[in-house]
Structure 1
Amino acid sequence: MTAAPAPAVDPVRSAELAQLGLSWQPSGQAALRGPLLRLAEECDRAFVTLAGIWQADEERHPASLPAERLQRVDYLRSFPHQATFAARLAPEEPNLDAFLDGPVLDEGGTIAVTELAPVSQVLTPAACYHVFSDHLGESFDGPRYLTTRNTCFRHERYYVPLRRLSSFTMREVVCLGTSAEIVDFLQRARAALDAFFELVDLPLEWLTATDPFFRPRANPRYIMQRVEPVKHEATYGGDLAIASINRHHDHFGVNFELTRGGEPTHSGCVAFGIERWLFAITDRHGTDPAGWPRLEDAATKVRSSLGGGRT
């Protein structure tokens, strides 16, 4: 089957985003400054405020994970088409000399690598993987709520400014607990997001989704996601997912040896793609920052209405 072509980029829209502070690279990466950078930071502060509904503890993690940790959940077999690796030249002096004796860069701008050192790190594909990895082997005596932000990396077939990027910013709120506690967390998160969307005037539709498995119909996890949906995306404009709610059951608990009362911990998360929020807000509310919604104020109202404390 022939893959669908990449959508055309609107030059007028691109020019507007550039004036707001977007510098776009063909590699699928974005640099932000000015109004867009300020809006991105306000988005993140709003999401942290929403995480305060559960008094979630903040964590900060590095840019990559050990491949052996990710492979605990079979990531490299499930998503080899999206994985991005942290690679470097083998450090032996003859290899470095050979690199220096070569062109270093070819005419197309590609690095003329010689021998590479063993590749053991994968650039972060989703912020929450670090949470499970860093708490490897821990036991919990109650529900645990955590929030983290990271730059995530995924190889895609094509890239569109702010909509589809090779590196992007993800804020997540994660709950570790019993099955019942995860259900409660995700239900409250759905209610919080619905209230937040209404306050900031972003019309969104919740759609059932599946993760982008490689050769999905041969992957049993894809089949299970179709039979029992565990991923729901808040979608703007019919096709742009700007947030998602995910139920993992005990998948991460089993594979990262996380326990509660002697049983594998269940988990769930809420994820926000910050660059996509920039697209949705500027598309819905225009390019004048004076017309953009007050995101932190809206998040504070939602947090207050839902109690702002752990259950």
Structure 2
Amino acid sequence: MNTLTELTGIGLRWDPSGQAGLTGPLLALAGDCDRAFQHLASRWGCPEEAYAATLPAAALHGHLRSFPHQVTFAAALDPAESNLAEFADGPVLDRSGAVALTRTAPVTAVLTPAACYHVYHAHRGEQLPAAAYVTTRNTCFRREPRYEPLRRQWTFAMREIVCLGTAEEATSFLAEARAAVDEFARLIDLPLAWTPATDPFFRPDHHPGHLLQRIQPVKHEATYGGSLALGSANLHHDHFGSAFGITRGGAPATTACLAFGVERWLYALVDRHGAEPGGWPDLLAAAGQAVAR
């Protein structure tokens, strides 16, 4: 098992608030991981799309109801000069180190909870003549009861490959995507198992989405060591197509995504292959072989 000391020795800079900085060998490995995932995305000819760190809260209405315990809001002080002066002349921080806020401006933005949400918002209102595939990466924010270095973090890097199309196109994409991940994992000697999963809904026993996922699994996680989810394959049916007015063949588009948690892959690779970079597998070569199959 990777200890904090071992990980620090190869480039982890850990903040107990649940945030990681990387340098040295671990930073280089993170770059190789992301390039390998991009290479897998080339199987579908995915263009790269980059987005801001926040999303409009109005675009995440359903998410806010489903996952209020995980959300991080982008907040700012009310810009009125009197309010700013009250804040600047006050303690600024209280004894616990928390910001002693005065009035805040209306909160209209949410820090990215999942990279794929940007894709649906950006493509809202589009009529797709064929299935569309996109890859994107973002820093995601999810509040958790506890944090562990590289395994469970408040902020983390997420690379996603997204499909927007018909139900058949989305289902076919997920089957191909899982097969590509399996082959990639085999080539780098990283044992993974796909397991049905449910999202961590707020009050799950009362949430229709949780009940649907238990009856008809639409989320499968690629797990390492029996419990650590390195990625997930998700079928959203026409939820986002309907919500954002994206159509395919005259009907709301079905969407699906393959998501990779970069830091968790770092943890698994070091756990499996050791802390010496010379023992780490060639991720780019393996991804190339996986795509070619």
TM-score, reference length from structure 1 = 0.93
Q: Does residue 1:191 correspond to 2:179, yes or no?
A: yes
Rounded to whole Å, the distance in 2 between the matches of 1:293 and 1:257 is: 43
Match of 1:41 in 2: 31
Residues 88-103 of structure 1: pairs in structure 2 closer than 5 A? 88-103=76-91
> Contact 2:166–2:249 at 8 Å: present in 1 too?
no
CA offsets, 1:192-241, max 9 Å, x none? 01101100000111110001100001010111111100000010111100
Match of 2:54 in 1: 64
Match of 1:266 in 2: 254
Match of 2:218 in 1: 230
1:262 deviation in Å? 1.4
1:190 deviation in Å? 1.0
Rounded to whole Å, the distance in 2 between the matches of 1:195 and 1:121 is: 39
Q: Does residue 1:300 correspond to 2:288, yes or no?
A: yes
Q: Does residue 1:75 correspond to 2:53, yes or no?
A: no
SS at the partner of 2:257? strand
Rounded to whole Å, the distance in 1 between the matches of 2:27 and 2:96 is: 31
Q: How many residues align?
A: 293
Structure 2 letter corresponding to 1:300:
G
> Which runs of 5 or more structure 2 residues have no equivalent in the other structure?
none
1:138 deviation in Å? 0.7
1:294 deviation in Å? 0.5
Match of 2:273 in 1: 285
Structure 2 letter corresponding to 1:50:
L
SS at the partner of 2:48? strand
Match of 2:191 in 1: 203
Rounded to whole Å, the distance in 1 between the matches of 2:96 and 2:11 is: 28
CA offsets, 1:259-309, max 9 Å, x none? 01210000100000000000000000000000001000000011112xxxx
Match of 2:13 in 1: 23
SS at the partner of 2:240? helix
Rounded to whole Å, the distance in 1 between the matches of 2:116 and 2:55 is: 11
- The RMSD of aligned alpha carbons is 0.8
1:109 deviation in Å? 1.3
Q: Does residue 1:134 correspond to 2:125, yes or no?
A: no
1:113 deviation in Å? 0.7
Rounded to whole Å, the distance in 2 between the matches of 1:287 and 1:86 is: 37
Structure 1 letter corresponding to 2:171:
V
2:43 is aligned, of 53, 74, 92, to 53
Runs of 4+ in structure 1 off by over 3 angstroms are none
Match of 1:255 in 2: 243
Q: Does residue 1:163 correspond to 2:138, yes or no?
A: no
CA offsets, 1:146-176, max 9 Å, x none? 0000000000000000000000000000000
Structure 2 letter corresponding to 1:161:
P
1:107 deviation in Å? 2.1
1:118 is aligned, of 98, 103, 106, to 106
Rounded to whole Å, the distance in 2 between the matches of 1:68 and 1:16 is: 43
CA offsets, 1:64-121, max 9 Å, x none? 00000111xx111100000000001110000011001111112221111100000000
> Which runs of 5 or more structure 1 residues have no equivalent in the other structure?
1-9, 306-311
Structure 2 letter corresponding to 1:154:
R
